[in-house]
Protein backbone atom coordinates (compact mmCIF):
# COMPACT_ATOMS: atom_id res chain seq x y z
CA UNK A 1 0.00 0.00 0.00
CA UNK A 2 2.81 2.52 0.37
CA UNK A 3 2.33 3.83 -3.13
CA UNK A 4 -0.82 5.45 -1.80
CA UNK A 5 0.77 6.19 1.52
CA UNK A 6 -0.19 8.69 4.18
CA UNK A 7 -3.58 10.24 4.48
CA UNK A 8 -4.42 11.53 7.89
CA UNK A 9 -6.31 14.33 6.29
CA UNK A 10 -8.10 15.71 9.28
CA UNK A 11 -4.82 16.84 10.68
CA UNK A 12 -3.36 18.65 7.71
CA UNK A 13 -2.00 22.03 8.56
CA UNK A 14 -1.06 25.04 6.49
CA UNK A 15 1.28 26.43 9.09
CA UNK A 16 3.80 23.74 9.94
CA UNK A 17 7.38 24.45 8.98
CA UNK A 18 9.50 21.35 9.25
CA UNK A 19 12.71 23.33 9.59
CA UNK A 20 11.57 24.71 12.91
CA UNK A 21 11.34 21.38 14.75
CA UNK A 22 13.82 20.13 17.30
CA UNK A 23 15.84 17.14 15.98
CA UNK A 24 15.35 15.20 19.25
CA UNK A 25 11.74 14.03 19.48
CA UNK A 26 9.72 13.80 22.65
CA UNK A 27 6.51 12.86 20.88
CA UNK A 28 5.76 10.79 17.84
CA UNK A 29 2.06 11.08 16.97
CA UNK A 30 2.15 8.77 13.95
CA UNK A 31 3.81 5.39 13.48
CA UNK A 32 3.55 3.71 10.11
CA UNK A 33 3.90 0.00 10.58
CA UNK A 34 4.77 -2.35 7.76
CA UNK A 35 3.05 -5.56 8.83
CA UNK A 36 3.28 -7.82 5.78
CA UNK A 37 5.82 -7.57 3.01
CA UNK A 38 3.79 -9.23 0.31
CA UNK A 39 0.81 -7.91 -1.57
CA UNK A 40 -2.20 -9.44 -3.29
CA UNK A 41 -2.10 -6.94 -6.16
CA UNK A 42 0.54 -6.72 -8.87
CA UNK A 43 0.52 -3.03 -9.68
CA UNK A 44 2.71 -1.81 -12.48
CA UNK A 45 3.85 1.23 -10.49
CA UNK A 46 5.26 -0.74 -7.55
CA UNK A 47 7.70 -3.58 -7.01
CA UNK A 48 6.52 -4.63 -3.58
CA UNK A 49 4.53 -7.58 -4.91
CA UNK A 50 7.77 -9.04 -6.29
CA UNK A 51 9.19 -9.57 -2.81
CA UNK A 52 9.87 -13.16 -1.98
CA UNK A 53 9.42 -14.87 1.34
CA UNK A 54 6.17 -13.42 2.67
CA UNK A 55 7.63 -12.11 5.92
CA UNK A 56 5.23 -10.52 8.35
CA UNK A 57 5.57 -8.50 11.52
CA UNK A 58 6.64 -10.70 14.44
CA UNK A 59 4.14 -9.82 17.14
CA UNK A 60 6.21 -11.23 20.00
CA UNK A 61 9.13 -9.04 18.96
CA UNK A 62 6.90 -6.05 18.35
CA UNK A 63 5.70 -6.24 21.96
CA UNK A 64 9.16 -4.91 22.98
CA UNK A 65 8.19 -1.55 21.54
CA UNK A 66 4.95 -1.11 23.40
CA UNK A 67 6.54 1.02 26.03
CA UNK A 68 8.11 3.29 23.40
CA UNK A 69 4.73 3.66 21.70
CA UNK A 70 3.11 4.73 24.94
CA UNK A 71 6.02 6.86 26.14
CA UNK A 72 6.25 8.75 22.85
CA UNK A 73 2.53 9.41 22.79
CA UNK A 74 1.84 7.61 19.52
CA UNK A 75 -1.77 8.41 18.62
CA UNK A 76 -2.16 6.94 15.16
CA UNK A 77 -0.75 3.71 13.83
CA UNK A 78 -1.02 3.30 10.10
CA UNK A 79 -0.90 -0.32 8.97
CA UNK A 80 0.74 -0.79 5.63
CA UNK A 81 2.63 -3.39 3.63
CA UNK A 82 2.39 -5.05 1.15
CA UNK A 83 -1.11 -5.90 2.22
CA UNK A 84 -1.66 -5.70 5.98
CA UNK A 85 -4.76 -7.89 5.87
CA UNK A 86 -2.51 -10.79 4.78
CA UNK A 87 -1.02 -10.90 8.29
CA UNK A 88 -1.96 -14.27 9.79
CA UNK A 89 -2.61 -12.78 13.22
CA UNK A 90 -4.22 -9.54 12.14
CA UNK A 91 -6.76 -9.62 14.96
CA UNK A 92 -4.07 -10.10 17.64
CA UNK A 93 -2.07 -7.27 16.11
CA UNK A 94 -5.09 -4.97 16.27
CA UNK A 95 -5.86 -5.98 19.86
CA UNK A 96 -2.28 -5.23 20.90
CA UNK A 97 -2.36 -1.83 19.26
CA UNK A 98 -5.70 -0.97 20.80
CA UNK A 99 -4.28 -1.82 24.22
CA UNK A 100 -1.74 0.95 23.53
CA UNK A 101 -4.64 3.35 23.10
CA UNK A 102 -3.97 4.26 19.46
CA UNK A 103 -6.22 4.91 16.50
CA UNK A 104 -5.69 2.44 13.68
CA UNK A 105 -5.66 3.44 10.03
CA UNK A 106 -5.56 0.56 7.56
CA UNK A 107 -4.07 1.05 4.10
CA UNK A 108 -5.36 -1.80 1.97
CA UNK A 109 -6.03 -3.07 -1.51
CA UNK A 110 -9.48 -4.02 -0.26
CA UNK A 111 -9.28 -7.53 -1.71
CA UNK A 112 -9.52 -9.23 1.69
CA UNK A 113 -11.83 -6.72 3.28
CA UNK A 114 -14.95 -8.88 3.02
CA UNK A 115 -13.15 -11.84 4.58
CA UNK A 116 -11.81 -9.74 7.46
CA UNK A 117 -14.82 -7.45 7.78
CA UNK A 118 -15.65 -8.20 11.40
CA UNK A 119 -12.09 -7.65 12.65
CA UNK A 120 -11.76 -4.45 10.64
CA UNK A 121 -15.10 -3.17 11.91
CA UNK A 122 -14.19 -4.03 15.51
CA UNK A 123 -10.69 -2.53 15.63
CA UNK A 124 -9.91 -0.19 12.74
CA UNK A 125 -10.80 3.51 12.93
CA UNK A 126 -10.22 4.44 9.30
CA UNK A 127 -9.74 2.40 6.13
CA UNK A 128 -8.00 3.76 3.06
CA UNK A 129 -8.39 1.72 -0.09
CA UNK A 130 -6.34 2.31 -3.19
CA UNK A 131 -8.52 2.91 -6.21
CA UNK A 132 -6.98 3.35 -9.63
CA UNK A 133 -9.98 4.30 -11.69
CA UNK A 134 -13.32 2.94 -12.81
CA UNK A 135 -13.79 -0.83 -12.70
CA UNK A 136 -11.98 -1.89 -15.87
CA UNK A 137 -9.01 0.41 -15.41
CA UNK A 138 -8.67 -0.39 -11.72
CA UNK A 139 -8.51 -4.11 -12.45
CA UNK A 140 -6.01 -3.50 -15.25
CA UNK A 141 -3.69 -1.40 -13.10
CA UNK A 142 -3.90 -3.83 -10.18
CA UNK A 143 -3.57 -6.74 -12.61
CA UNK A 144 -6.21 -8.60 -10.60
CA UNK A 145 -9.45 -9.59 -12.27
CA UNK A 146 -12.44 -8.70 -10.09
CA UNK A 147 -10.42 -6.40 -7.80
CA UNK A 148 -12.93 -3.53 -8.08
CA UNK A 149 -15.86 -5.83 -7.31
CA UNK A 150 -14.05 -7.23 -4.26
CA UNK A 151 -13.65 -3.71 -2.89
CA UNK A 152 -17.40 -3.18 -3.19
CA UNK A 153 -18.06 -6.48 -1.41
CA UNK A 154 -15.62 -5.53 1.33
CA UNK A 155 -17.05 -2.05 1.89
CA UNK A 156 -20.57 -3.50 2.18
CA UNK A 157 -19.42 -6.23 4.56
CA UNK A 158 -17.60 -3.82 6.89
CA UNK A 159 -20.49 -1.37 6.84
CA UNK A 160 -22.89 -4.14 7.90
CA UNK A 161 -20.96 -4.25 11.17
CA UNK A 162 -20.07 -0.56 11.53
CA UNK A 163 -22.08 1.64 9.16
CA UNK A 164 -20.25 4.87 10.05
CA UNK A 165 -16.66 3.64 9.68
CA UNK A 166 -14.78 6.01 7.32
CA UNK A 167 -13.67 3.97 4.29
CA UNK A 168 -11.83 6.30 1.95
CA UNK A 169 -10.41 5.95 -1.53
CA UNK A 170 -6.92 7.02 -2.57
CA UNK A 171 -6.04 7.18 -6.24
CA UNK A 172 -2.56 7.33 -7.71
CA UNK A 173 -2.66 9.36 -10.92
CA UNK A 174 -0.59 7.87 -13.73
CA UNK A 175 -0.63 7.12 -17.45
CA UNK A 176 -3.47 4.59 -17.27
CA UNK A 177 -5.93 6.84 -15.49
CA UNK A 178 -4.87 10.49 -15.96
CA UNK A 179 -7.87 11.14 -18.20
CA UNK A 180 -10.36 9.44 -15.87
CA UNK A 181 -10.48 11.46 -12.69
CA UNK A 182 -14.23 12.10 -13.01
CA UNK A 183 -14.87 8.42 -13.65
CA UNK A 184 -12.69 7.58 -10.64
CA UNK A 185 -14.86 9.80 -8.45
CA UNK A 186 -17.94 8.07 -9.89
CA UNK A 187 -16.33 4.71 -9.16
CA UNK A 188 -15.60 5.72 -5.57
CA UNK A 189 -19.22 6.68 -5.08
CA UNK A 190 -20.46 3.45 -6.64
CA UNK A 191 -18.35 1.53 -4.12
CA UNK A 192 -19.79 3.49 -1.21
CA UNK A 193 -16.45 5.10 -0.28
CA UNK A 194 -16.57 8.04 2.14
CA UNK A 195 -14.21 10.24 0.11
CA UNK A 196 -11.57 10.12 -2.60
CA UNK A 197 -8.16 11.74 -2.78
CA UNK A 198 -5.52 11.84 -5.50
CA UNK A 199 -1.74 11.89 -5.63
CA UNK A 200 0.83 11.68 -8.43
CA UNK A 201 2.55 8.37 -9.10
CA UNK A 202 6.11 8.14 -7.83
CA UNK A 203 8.48 7.16 -10.62
CA UNK A 204 11.77 8.63 -9.49
CA UNK A 205 12.43 7.40 -5.97
CA UNK A 206 13.91 4.17 -4.65
CA UNK A 207 10.95 3.63 -2.36
CA UNK A 208 8.51 0.75 -2.79
CA UNK A 209 11.06 -2.06 -3.00
CA UNK A 210 13.01 -0.63 -5.93
CA UNK A 211 16.63 -1.63 -5.74
CA UNK A 212 17.59 1.15 -8.10
CA UNK A 213 15.85 4.19 -9.50
CA UNK A 214 13.74 3.00 -12.41
CA UNK A 215 15.26 3.32 -15.90
CA UNK A 216 13.57 5.84 -18.20
CA UNK A 217 11.71 3.13 -20.09
CA UNK A 218 10.01 1.90 -16.92
CA UNK A 219 9.28 5.45 -15.77
CA UNK A 220 7.61 6.16 -19.11
CA UNK A 221 5.11 3.35 -18.54
CA UNK A 222 3.73 5.27 -15.59
CA UNK A 223 4.59 8.96 -15.97
CA UNK A 224 2.93 11.33 -18.42
CA UNK A 225 4.12 12.73 -21.74
CA UNK A 226 3.49 16.45 -22.40
CA UNK A 227 0.24 15.78 -24.29
CA UNK A 228 -0.98 13.57 -21.45
CA UNK A 229 -0.19 16.27 -18.90
CA UNK A 230 -2.36 18.67 -20.90
CA UNK A 231 -5.11 16.04 -20.89
CA UNK A 232 -4.76 15.71 -17.12
CA UNK A 233 -4.96 19.49 -16.69
CA UNK A 234 -8.13 19.56 -18.79
CA UNK A 235 -9.56 16.63 -16.88
CA UNK A 236 -8.94 18.49 -13.62
CA UNK A 237 -10.72 21.54 -15.05
CA UNK A 238 -13.70 19.37 -16.02
CA UNK A 239 -13.69 17.79 -12.58
CA UNK A 240 -13.72 21.21 -10.93
CA UNK A 241 -16.55 22.39 -13.18
CA UNK A 242 -18.72 19.28 -12.90
CA UNK A 243 -18.08 18.22 -9.30
CA UNK A 244 -18.24 21.53 -7.45
CA UNK A 245 -20.40 19.96 -4.74
CA UNK A 246 -17.81 17.23 -4.16
CA UNK A 247 -15.10 19.82 -3.59
CA UNK A 248 -17.40 21.80 -1.35
CA UNK A 249 -18.30 18.76 0.76
CA UNK A 250 -14.66 17.53 0.69
CA UNK A 251 -15.79 14.28 -0.89
CA UNK A 252 -12.86 15.09 -3.17
CA UNK A 253 -10.27 15.75 -0.49
CA UNK A 254 -7.85 17.97 -2.42
CA UNK A 255 -8.64 21.53 -3.44
CA UNK A 256 -8.54 22.33 -7.18
CA UNK A 257 -5.18 24.06 -6.64
CA UNK A 258 -3.76 20.96 -4.99
CA UNK A 259 -4.95 18.79 -7.86
CA UNK A 260 -3.19 21.11 -10.28
CA UNK A 261 0.01 20.48 -8.35
CA UNK A 262 -0.28 16.82 -9.39
CA UNK A 263 -0.07 17.94 -13.02
CA UNK A 264 2.85 20.16 -12.10
CA UNK A 265 4.66 17.17 -10.54
CA UNK A 266 4.54 15.41 -13.91
CA UNK A 267 5.94 18.53 -15.60
CA UNK A 268 8.74 18.55 -13.04
CA UNK A 269 9.46 14.90 -13.79
CA UNK A 270 9.93 15.88 -17.45
CA UNK A 271 12.23 18.73 -16.47
CA UNK A 272 9.79 21.34 -17.77
CA UNK A 273 9.59 23.04 -14.38
CA UNK A 274 11.92 23.23 -11.37
CA UNK A 275 10.97 20.77 -8.61
CA UNK A 276 9.32 22.27 -5.56
CA UNK A 277 9.28 20.33 -2.31
CA UNK A 278 5.96 20.05 -0.54
CA UNK A 279 5.43 21.41 2.95
CA UNK A 280 6.14 18.40 5.11
CA UNK A 281 6.95 17.55 8.71
CA UNK A 282 6.91 13.75 8.39
CA UNK A 283 10.36 13.11 9.94
CA UNK A 284 9.43 15.16 13.02
CA UNK A 285 5.98 13.69 13.67
CA UNK A 286 6.15 10.16 12.27
CA UNK A 287 8.32 7.17 11.51
CA UNK A 288 8.04 4.14 9.27
CA UNK A 289 8.92 0.82 10.91
CA UNK A 290 9.73 -1.99 8.50
CA UNK A 291 9.28 -5.72 9.10
CA UNK A 292 13.04 -6.24 9.49
CA UNK A 293 13.06 -3.67 12.30
CA UNK A 294 14.62 -0.84 10.32
CA UNK A 295 13.12 2.59 10.90
CA UNK A 296 12.78 5.31 8.29
CA UNK A 297 11.90 8.96 8.79
CA UNK A 298 9.34 8.62 5.96
CA UNK A 299 8.72 6.28 3.02
CA UNK A 300 11.36 7.92 0.87
CA UNK A 301 14.42 8.63 3.01
CA UNK A 302 16.82 5.83 4.01
CA UNK A 303 16.75 4.06 7.35
CA UNK A 304 17.87 5.95 10.46
CA UNK A 305 18.45 2.81 12.52
CA UNK A 306 17.21 -0.63 13.47
CA UNK A 307 15.07 -1.87 16.35
CA UNK A 308 16.82 -5.25 16.31
CA UNK A 309 18.98 -4.32 19.27
CA UNK A 310 17.25 -1.16 20.43
CA UNK A 311 13.76 -0.04 21.32
CA UNK A 312 11.79 2.10 18.93
CA UNK A 313 12.25 5.10 21.21
CA UNK A 314 16.02 4.63 21.22
CA UNK A 315 16.15 4.43 17.43
CA UNK A 316 13.96 7.50 17.00
CA UNK A 317 16.43 9.51 19.06
CA UNK A 318 19.63 7.70 18.08
CA UNK A 319 22.59 9.84 17.04
CA UNK A 320 21.98 8.93 13.40
CA UNK A 321 18.30 9.90 13.57
CA UNK A 322 18.95 13.17 15.37
CA UNK A 323 21.73 14.02 12.92
CA UNK A 324 19.43 13.29 9.98
CA UNK A 325 16.63 15.52 11.26
CA UNK A 326 19.04 18.28 12.25
CA UNK A 327 20.48 18.40 8.75
CA UNK A 328 17.28 17.94 6.74
CA UNK A 329 16.01 20.99 4.92
CA UNK A 330 12.87 19.74 3.20
CA UNK A 331 12.77 22.68 0.78
CA UNK A 332 16.30 22.01 -0.46
CA UNK A 333 16.54 18.24 -0.17
CA UNK A 334 16.68 16.42 -3.48
CA UNK A 335 14.49 13.50 -2.34
CA UNK A 336 11.91 15.87 -0.84
CA UNK A 337 11.82 17.95 -4.01
CA UNK A 338 10.65 14.88 -5.92
CA UNK A 339 8.29 13.62 -3.23
CA UNK A 340 4.72 12.85 -4.25
CA UNK A 341 3.39 12.04 -0.82
CA UNK A 342 4.15 14.37 2.05
CA UNK A 343 2.70 14.76 5.51
CA UNK A 344 1.89 18.03 7.18
CA UNK A 345 0.57 17.13 10.56
CA UNK A 346 -0.56 19.57 13.18
CA UNK A 347 -0.82 18.15 16.64
CA UNK A 348 -0.47 19.88 20.01
CA UNK A 349 1.94 17.30 21.37
CA UNK A 350 4.00 17.20 18.19
CA UNK A 351 4.22 20.97 18.40
CA UNK A 352 6.08 20.25 21.60
CA UNK A 353 8.88 18.97 19.36
CA UNK A 354 9.36 22.53 18.20
CA UNK A 355 9.16 24.14 21.58
CA UNK A 356 5.72 25.69 21.20
CA UNK A 357 3.84 23.96 23.99
CA UNK A 358 3.87 26.05 27.09
CA UNK A 359 2.38 23.34 29.28
CA UNK A 360 5.60 21.31 29.34
CA UNK A 361 8.34 23.86 28.68
CA UNK A 362 11.11 22.04 30.53
CA UNK A 363 10.95 19.04 28.26
CA UNK A 364 11.80 20.92 25.11
CA UNK A 365 14.28 23.35 23.73
CA UNK A 366 13.01 26.30 21.78
CA UNK A 367 12.48 25.81 18.09
CA UNK A 368 14.18 27.93 15.51
CA UNK A 369 11.10 29.92 14.50
The stretch among 63-71, 92-100, 144-152, 328-336 that binds ligand SF4 (CB under 6 A) is 328-336
Residues 155 and 193 sit within 8 Å (Cβ to Cβ) = yes
Q: Is 25 one of the binding residues for ligand SF4 (CB under 6 A)?
A: no
The alpha carbons of the chain give a radius of gyration, in whole angstroms, of 20
* Binding of residue 31 to ligand SF4 (CB under 6 A): no
Stretch that binds ligand SF4, among 44-52, 67-75, 312-320, 359-367 (CB under 6 A): 44-52
- Candidates 177-185, 246-254, 260-268, 339-347: pick the segment binding ligand SF4 (CB under 6 A): 339-347
Shortest Å distance, C-beta 154 to ligand SF4: 14
Evaluate whether 165 touches 127 at the Cβ level (below 8 Å). yes
What region does 53 belong to: left with phi over 0, alpha with psi -120 to 50, or beta?
Answer: left
Among 40-48, 179-187, 190-198, 216-224, the segment contacting ligand SF4 (CB under 6 A):
40-48
Task: Confirm or reject binding of residue 304 to ligand SF4 (CB under 6 A).
Answer: no
Nearest to ligand SF4 of 7, 130 (CB atom)? 130
3-state secondary structure 236-295: HHHHHHHCHHHHHCCCECCCHHHHHHHHHHHHHHCCCCCCCCCCCCHHHHEEEECCCCEE
Q: Is 203 helix (H, G, I), strand (E, B) or coil?
A: coil
Of 109, 194, 121, the residue nearest 157 (C-alpha)? 121
Q: Does 287 bind ligand SF4 (CB under 6 A)?
A: no
Among 168, 170, 178, 301, binds ligand SF4 (CB under 6 A): 301
The distance of closest approach from Cβ of residue 50 to ligand SF4 in the complex, given in angstroms and rounded to an integer, is 9
Site string for ligand SF4, 59-98 (x = CB under 6 A): -----------------------x----------------
Q: Which is nearer to ligand SF4, 240 or 289 (CB)?
A: 289
Residue 105 bridge partners (DSSP): 78, 126
Q: Which of 279, 181, 185 is nearest to 236 (CA)?
A: 181
Q: Is 330 in the site for ligand SF4 (CB under 6 A)?
A: yes
Four-point Cα dihedral 301, 109, 193, 125, nearest 10: -70
Enumerate binding residues for ligand SF4 (CB under 6 A). Answer: 1, 3, 39, 41-43, 46, 48-49, 82, 109, 130, 277-278, 280, 282-283, 298, 300-301, 330, 335-336, 339, 342-343
Amino acid sequence: MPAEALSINASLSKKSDAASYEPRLTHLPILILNVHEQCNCRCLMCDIWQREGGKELDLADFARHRQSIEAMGVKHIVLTGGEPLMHRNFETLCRTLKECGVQITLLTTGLLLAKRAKIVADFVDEVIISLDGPQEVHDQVRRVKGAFRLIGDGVSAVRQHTPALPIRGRSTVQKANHHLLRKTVEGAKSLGLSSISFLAADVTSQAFNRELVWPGERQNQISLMPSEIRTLEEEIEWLVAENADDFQSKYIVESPAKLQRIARRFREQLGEMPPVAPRCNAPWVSAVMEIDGSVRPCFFHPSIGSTKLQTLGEVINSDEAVKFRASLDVRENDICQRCVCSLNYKDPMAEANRGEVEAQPRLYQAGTE
